Amino acid sequence: MGARRDGRIVAVQTLYRYELTGAPLQELLDFSWIDAPRRATLPDGAIAFATLIVTGCLECLEEVDQVIRDNLAHWDLDRLARVDLSLLRMGVYCLLHQPDIPASVTIDEAVAIARHFSSEDSYRFVNGVLDGARRRLAAEADPASSGGE
């Protein structure tokens, strides 16, 4: 795995911790929950990338959660599994604020992490919500490309 994949995993785990504990950002970013052996195996840049995602996501949490809400069919954020919500927050933040990373990469990475950390079918759900967000954001950025919708 590369530094960015590991960084995304750490970011999702940190966002999950935030969801469960409501810990303040500074406490989340000390990454004290990562034990020394695991930290030693993380590639250079993984913690920095995780820090960027977590900080940005929590600073833009209302915007991120609104994009998620806009792409949930008959669901409420409170009904989502906390792992799935953390994955969606990471993915939506990256779609919104990391234009240098192709949307397909962001979605593929979130799906891969969902396959490993969430329930058996969650990856399909994560893929559907993030792909819907990608399409909606693209249409908002270029209304002419969506047939004027």
* Structural domain spans, the chain: 3-142
pLDDT in tens, 10-44: 999 999 999 999 999 999 999 998 999 999 999 99
How large is the average pLDDT for residues 130-146? 84
Q: How many other CB atoms are found less than 10 A from the CB of residue 55?
A: 16
Q: Given this model, what pLDDT does residue 144 score?
A: 67
Report the interhelical angle of 61-70 vs 46-59 (nearest 10°): 80
pLDDT at site 116: 94
Higher pLDDT, 142 or 84: 84
| Band of residue 141 on the pLDDT scale cut at 50, 70, 90 | confident
- For helices 3-21 and 82-97, the axis angle rounded to 10 degrees is 130
Q: Name 11's Cβ contacts closer than 8 Å, sequence gap at least 6.
A: 49, 50, 53, 54, 57, 90
The CATH number given to 3-142 is 1.10.940.10
Report yes or no: 96 and 61 within 8 Å, Cβ to Cβ. no
Burial class (CB in 10 A: 0-12, 13-18, 19+), 112: middle
- Contact present, 93 and 56 (Cβ < 8 Å): yes
Q: Which two tokens stand for residue 148?
A: 């004027």
Residue 57 has pLDDT above 90, yes or no: yes
- Specify whether the CB–CB gap between 136 and 95 falls below 8 A: no
Identity of the residue numbered 45: G
In this predicted model, what pLDDT tens digit does every residue of 101-128 receive, in sequence order? 999 999 999 999 999 999 988 999 999 9
Res 87 pLDDT > 70: yes
70 pLDDT higher than 50: yes
CA distance 138 to 35: 40
Query: In this predicted structure, what is the pLDDT of residue 129?
Result: 96
> Which pLDDT does position 145 carry in this prediction?
56
129 is written with which tokens? 């919500």
Q: What percent of the chain has pLDDT over 90?
A: 83
pTM of the full structure: 0.92
pLDDT of 149 reads 46
